Amino acid sequence: MTITANWSYPTAIKFGAGRIKELADHCKAVGMKKPLLVTDRGLAPMAITQNALAILEAAGLGRAIFADVDPNPNDANLEAGVKAFKDGGHDGVVAFGGGSGLDLGKAIAFMVGQTRPVWDFEDIGDWWTRASVEGIAPIVAVPTTAGTGSEVGRASVITNSQTHTKKVIFHPKFLPAVTICDPELTVGMPKVITAGTGMDAFAHCLEAYCSPFYHPMSQGIALEGMRLVKEYLPRAYRDGADIEARANMMSAAAMGAVAFQKGLGAIHSLSHPVGAIYNTHHGMTNAVVMPPVLRFNRPAIEGKIAAAAAYLGISGGFDGFYDYVLELRSELGVPDKLAALGVGTDRIDEMAAMAIVDPTAGGNPVELTLTSAKTLFAACI
């Protein structure tokens, strides 16, 4: 089965196996003559990245790459990337990779046009209106995992290397002009990354679906996104070359990011401090903390989850859904506790204090207090 389509929601999406070959055309269409491809260190030497550079070079766009990007991209990576962009005389960014490459690439394209520090554009109130729009470079995004959904998002998560906190940086111009979703690029993903990124997509859909805010469009997208994960993540995990499964996971990832305009919740509020302090994989961390957060939220979401379970073909209402999450985790080799990811109990107080002020905490259906955050961390570790 071939899945190929052009969508204009929420941006121009060129979806289909093999469509990376159109990369240079889309760069040219948005005005790039000398793009900078931004990706992470691990991806830089890989064949999919070298092929993308070859496509750009063959079209006369050069083959410039910036790959000094940490798994949780930080302000130092951003500063170095902006310098590379300016020194190289570039005029656009190809944001290439998983969450790290995409988030940093988008942030570089934005910051090359700014004079204020990046923290002035944190996603608070109308801070984004402080930005100078003229100098922002165009972005073509190319996801190589299926989880973050950053390829359709208007924000990047950047870690402050001084305070070890993750900040959401927001501007409407972070939304890539064009996104190429080519599921063939995800075929080589190791099983553990397929599992972690897939569970991140699931967490986005689940938390958006459960958030108390009124956003029926996101609600519908979140529900169908969960269904795609249920049907296709185990398949993609078992057989990485299953293109139909990879394609549907790529859709689920984009849908999760569209849906979480409605809000995220405590899965992410707990996961962000853990990632910032212990550098754990974001999606895998979400998967570990998911069951305790579901139990914590149960009084507020029991009916909603029962409705989702019915749509997903899961019997037993909330309990059936909860058991399904446990089964999915074990099928994907997700550890039961954060201790298995190297997280200790010695920094619970600090992480709890960070969790309750995380921007996602406000979307949790049950209020996350310092006491409840500590109890949740203890249960997760």
Nearer residue to Fe ion within complex by CB, 112 or 158: 158
Min dist. Cβ of residue 8 to Fe ion (A): 24
Closer to Fe ion at the Cβ: 131 or 222? 222
Is the distance from CB of 335 to CB of 381 less than 8 angstroms?
no
Q: Under a CB-based contact definition with an 8 Å cutoff, are residues 133 and 173 in contact? A: yes
Give me the residue label for tokens 């190289």. Answer: 88
18 vs 335 by CB, closer to Fe ion = 335
φ/ψ of 226, rounded to 5, equals -60, -40
User: In this structure, are residues 73 and 62 in contact, taking their beta carbons and an 8 Å threshold?
Assistant: no
* Residues near Fe ion, by CB under 5 A: 200
Distance of closest approach, residue 338 Cβ to Fe ion, in angstroms? 16
- Closer by beta carbon to Fe ion, 26 or else 329: 329
Q: Which is nearer to Fe ion, 75 or 200 (CB)?
A: 200
Q: What angle do CA 155, 158, 162 make, to 5 degrees?
A: 150
Strands (E), the chain: 4-8, 12-16, 36-38, 64-66, 93-97, 139-143, 155-160, 165-170, 178-181
Contact 44, 251 (CB under 8 A): no
- CA gap 259, 31 in Å, rounded: 30
Residue located via tokens 């990376």: 20
Q: How far is the CB of 269 from Fe ion (least distance, A)?
A: 11
- How near is the Cβ of 200 to Fe ion at its closest, in Å? 4
Between residues 35 and 283, which has the closer beta carbon with respect to Fe ion? 283
Q: How far is CA 57 from CA 24, 50, 329, in A?
A: 9, 10, 42
Residue closer to Fe ion, measured from CB, 177 or 249: 249
Q: How far is the CB of 204 from Fe ion (least distance, A)?
A: 6
* Residue 90 or 204 having the CB closest to Fe ion: 204
- Least distance (Å) between residue 1 CB and Fe ion: 29
CB of 271 to Fe ion, least distance (A): 7
C-beta closer to Fe ion: residue 91 or 200? 200
CB 360, CB 263: distance < 8 Å: yes
Alpha helices in 214-344 (DSSP H): 216-238, 243-259, 266-278, 282-312, 317-331
Looking at the Cβ atoms of 182 and 200, the one nearer to Fe ion is 200
Query: In the bound complex, what is the minimum distance in angstroms from residue 132's beta carbon to Fe ion?
Result: 29
Work out how close the CB of 89 gets to Fe ion at its nearest, in angstroms, rounded to a whole number.
Answer: 34
Q: Give the C-alpha separation, 166 to 331, whole Å.
A: 30
The tokens of 178 are what?
């064009």
- Residue 56 tokens read as 């750009």
Q: What backbone torsions phi and psi does residue 169 show, to the nearest 5 degrees?
A: -105, 125
Long-range Cβ contact pairs of 367-375 (< 8 A, separation 24 or more): 368/266, 368/269, 372/296, 373/266, 373/269, 373/270, 374/348, 374/349
Residue 203 CB, shortest distance to Fe ion, in Å, is: 6
* Chain residue at closest Cβ approach to Fe ion: 200
